[in-house]
Amino acid sequence: MRQSKLLYSLLIIISCFCGNLIKGAEPIHKREFRAVWIATVSNIDWPTSPNDPVEKQQEDFIAILDFYKKLNFNAVIVQVRTAGDAFYPSKLAPWSRFLTGQEGKAPELDYDPMAWMIQEAHNRGFEFHAWLNPYRATFDLNTDILSPQHDFFTHQDWMIPYGKKYYYNPGIPEVQDHLVNIITEVVENYDIDAIHFDDYFYPYKTEGEVFKDADVFVNHAEPGQSLEDWRRENINDLIRKTHESIKKRKPWVHFGISPFGVWRNASIDPLGSDTEAGQTTYDDLYADPLKWMKNGWIDYLAPQLYWSMDFHLASYRRLIDWWDKNVINTNLYIGNGAYKVKNNSDTAWYKKEELPNQIALSRATQNISGNIFFSANSLLNKHDSIINELVQNVYNTPILPPSSNTLDTLDTFDDTPEIISKRVIDDTVHFRLKKRDTMSVQWAVLYNVENKRQRQMIKDPKNIIGVFPITSDTDYFNITIPIHFLDHKRLIAVSYLDFYRRESEICIFKNKLNSKKRDW
């Protein structure tokens, strides 16, 4: 595998160097993370307007899911906390104004939007990653629009004004406990697949501004500890406590972080990357993803490499190589700046091959297991030439999500689906399978296996028909599949994916379905 991937990488690099569009850059194994960020702050992606009726908001969310389902993505990362608020009923934060138009105001319909979003995502075979901004308290300095229940009013001593926003002070122990409680509330109450943080730790530096935490530093720092190291340790504490809280309650729920794409510049630290970034995640945001990985505090890392392949200050190509060499104990995904397509001063983003080539290069790199696009509206119903390239040559088959590198589990588990019955209802096929009390399964995977080497065929991602949600009643597991997925397929294999993303053994059955007569 490693030798073939190295050869493949060389071919990709040669193709990229020549500036050609990479053709046929299919995955070489059947697990890959394909995700999109759905940003809710300032209604970047969803909802289109906080004043839209609930029905319109739901239609727009489903449109996003269906668009990326057609691109064979397998995860959505949805922002459910933007700035001290919530897109779900919470005892610890008010409703977001970006959802309802007024902070603290509940949706008009009596429903839980987050539970609804999770169900719609799972129905389409997507993982749902709940994306929270822990430290950003407000989106501007206008506190008149905040709910009386916002932490700005209930805990003003936690707040620090900086630039044009208020931030939680990461150095206050009670702030850390409060943020962990917020995350714990989400983990306990929702069927999520992951908790996700982005790059907002200590704020990006603003010229002429001082982050006024000196008094807290004096009272809480260890003897001899520098301000910079103390700040980094505050972030480390939150990451560690968050990890512990998640794994204590639902060990299968992943914890992922997408830091700014440059750890340190080599001009400052010989271990850093060959870049000239104006700010870095270690020196300016006081975040140390290398330490998080080393200590096993995260399940995946997704550095935001929002630059073109050969951008002179921070090359996507060079940073891919740096992160590949420095990842440890963690799944490594890459954040891609799809929002820059035909919308940036760097002319590379006007070439239709730029984004597909980035995906192909990351796919060809040994330790990288997937990509995340920022953000959903960047490609939604636009840039047809790029979408066509992704569909035809890059994401042209469904694929399974990776399992976690930090779990002491195998990629497979010893159970085989046992089909009890099959029924055709309208345009769907309903499978009933034997239920085992010892199994905690979430999805079924269907494969097209058309020859005697069925066990080998399931290793090829081209043979994946799709990933479908499993429902459970008292006695059975149930799977519902649109009938067109089974047309013209003689033999089909089905397996389970459990909550850890481990795959079961397969069950192979003959497909005797006659779609015209709607019977077997």
pLDDT in tens, 459-510: 999 999 999 999 988 889 999 999 999 988 889 999 999 999 999 999 998 8
Provide DSSP, 34-85: EEEEE--GGGSSS-S-TTS-HHHHHHHHHHHHHHHHHTT--EEEEEEESSS-
pLDDT for residue 14? 43
| CATH 2.60.40.10 describes domain 419-510 | yes
pLDDT for residue 13? 47
Torsion of CA 151, 157, 158, 163, to 10 degrees: 100
pLDDT for residue 473? 87
Question: What is the CATH code for 2-394?
Answer: 3.20.20.80
Question: Do the bridges between strand 441-448 and strand 491-498 make them parallel or antiparallel, or are there none, so unpaired?
Answer: antiparallel
pLDDT in tens, 238-286: 999 999 999 999 999 999 999 999 999 999 999 999 999 999 999 999 9
pLDDT for residue 456? 82
| Edge-to-edge strand ranges of the sheet holding 491-498 | 419-425, 428-434, 476-482, 464-472, 441-448, 491-498, 507-510
Provide DSSP, 102-161: STTPPPSSSS-HHHHHHHHHHHTT-EEEEEE-SSB--SSS-GGGS-TTSHHHH-GGGEEE
Q: Which is nearest to 479 in space by CA: 436, 427, 419?
A: 419
Q: For the chain (length 520 residues), average pLDDT per consecutive 10?
A: 46 46 64 98 98 97 98 98 98 98 95 97 97 97 97 98 97 98 98 97 96 98 98 98 98 97 98 98 98 97 98 98 97 98 97 96 96 98 95 94 70 80 91 80 93 79 95 91 90 93 91 61
The whole-model pTM stands at 0.94
pLDDT for residue 433? 94
- Report how far residue 82's alpha carbon sits from residue 76's, in angstroms, rounded to the nearest whole number: 16
Q: What are phi and psi of 86, to 5 degrees?
A: -150, 145
Torsion of CA 302, 308, 313, 319, to 10 degrees: 40
Question: Do the bridges between strand 441-448 and strand 464-472 make them parallel or antiparallel, or are there none, so unpaired?
Answer: antiparallel
Please, what's the b/e burial string for 300-331 (b: 16 or more CB within 10 A of its CB; e: otherwise)? Answer: bbbbbbbbbbebeebbbbbbbebbbebbeebb
The DSSP output letter for 514 is B
Element spanning 476, H or E:
strand 476-482
In the chain, where are the structural domains located?
2-394, 419-510
Q: Assign 257 to helix, strand or coil.
A: strand
